[in-house]
Chains A and B, each alone.
Chain A
């Protein structure tokens, strides 16, 4: 697995907070990611949901933002001391609780993804749109959503690491 440089949490927080302000200052668009996954559906699905409101023009800023993020990850690994390393490893901790066979691992991660995708559409946003942007706006539904995110995350991880192992 690629080992990347990690800054202290508070420095990372300042950097991401400044990024969020910079984006809105430059473009007028508030930071958010999960809605963009619907843009990807717009290209392959004829369901009306993916062709109206925020998806009436799927080739929009959200799509380009989504394309940029993996390239940023690539840059982060190229600028880390260790070179890029392709691997299905999930790091020391998750490797102990998530089974090794690739099909089972893939199934669990896909399930996790489905919950993330479906849940974020039900909630109307994710950790970027609700927790970072929404709470910064003092928007109370975003604060409620963020509490829900943390409750769900704590339940899964506590069950996985304390009950299953």
Chain B
């Protein structure tokens, strides 16, 4: 856990690069989804190709992390039923706010004050998810209660 402080300069570098890449410029989001200017599509697709090559190289050489020396876990995020609806909801917000979770933080640093609202919203949305997960956990051990609630729906 000592390496966590390393992520402060890493975050600074990432935020700086997002800005230089145009990912903190609202107009590029509108132009991307109107298919007028593919600046951000270039950024994303070239980044993926570079990442693909780099990760391939790290895998081939069985590289250990420089800090900590552990071998790197390249396991991808799993599929789950909520993935597609979640991704589309994310996209709807992405287009509306003209920002994503990383870029909106860099926008705040650039003095784009609308980012304050978007960041507040992201925290709120994350909280909403955590709250919903909690509800599901609370109801699980009481299947009889669920049946009582479900019955009137079936009749109607």
Binding between chains A and B: yes
| A interface residues with partner B (beta carbon < 8 Å) | 1-2, 4-10, 12-21, 23-31, 33-34, 36-38, 40-41, 45, 47-50, 57, 59-77, 84-94, 105-142, 144-158, 160-161
B residues sitting closer than 8 Å to A (CB atoms) are 1, 3-27, 29-34, 38-52, 54-55, 58, 63-68, 70-74, 76-80, 82-102, 104-114, 117-131, 133-134, 137
> Which among A41, A47, A126 is the interface contact of B90 at CB below 8 angstroms?
A126
Is A118 a contact partner of B43 (Cβ separation < 8 A)? no
Bound Cα distance from A57 to B4, whole angstroms: 12
Contact of A49 among B7, B66, B94, B134 (CB under 8 A): B134
A76 to chain B, nearest CB (A): 3
Q: Given the interface contacts A61-B7, A73-B16, A161-B34, does A129 sit within 8 Å of B130 by beta carbon?
A: no
Q: Is the CB of B118 within 8 A of A116?
A: yes
Q: Is A21 touching B58 in the complex (CB atoms < 8 A)?
A: yes
Cross-chain contact B48 with A132 (CB below 8 angstroms): yes
Would A91 and B26 be within 8 Å (CB), given that A25-B66, A37-B126, A126-B102 are in contact? yes
Q: Are A13 and B89 in contact (CB under 8 A)?
A: no
Question: Are B134 and A47 neighbours in the complex by a CB distance under 8 Å?
Answer: yes
In the complex, the answer to whether B125 meets A15 with C-beta atoms within 8 Å is no
Kindly identify which residue among B109, B127, B133 contacts A69, using a CB–CB cutoff of 8 Å.
B109
Q: With A60-B1, A69-B18, A161-B34 as given contacts, are A139 and B124 in contact (CB-CB < 8 Å)?
A: no
Count of CB-CB pairs between chains A and B under 8 Å: 520
Residues of B within 8 A of A129 (CB): 77
With a cutoff of 8 Å between Cβ atoms, the chain A residues found around residue B113 in the complex are: 86-88
Query: Please, how many angstroms separate the alpha-carbon atoms of A117 and B86 in the complex?
Result: 10
A19 to B11, CA, bound (A): 10
Residue of A1, A61, A131 touching B44 (CB-CB under 8 A): A131
* Chain B, Cβ-Cβ closest to A152: B91
Q: Which residues of A contact B54 (CB under 8 A)?
A: 17-18, 20-21, 25, 136
With A13-B43, A65-B10, A112-B96 as contacts: A123 and B90 at CB distance below 8 Å: yes
Within 8 Å CB of A124, what residues of B?
77-78, 80, 83, 86
A13→B46 contact, CB < 8 A: yes
Q: Shortest distance in angstroms between B43's beta carbon and chain A's nearest beta carbon?
A: 4
Q: Say yes or no: A68-B7 contact (C-beta < 8 A), given A17-B54, A114-B122, A144-B87.
A: yes
26 contacts between A and B (CB under 8 A): A6-B39, A9-B21, A13-B44, A16-B18, A21-B50, A25-B65, A31-B14, A37-B126, A69-B109, A94-B98, A112-B97, A113-B97, A115-B93, A120-B122, A122-B90, A130-B87, A141-B77, A141-B80, A145-B84, A145-B87, A152-B88, A153-B29, A154-B91, A156-B96, A157-B29, A157-B32
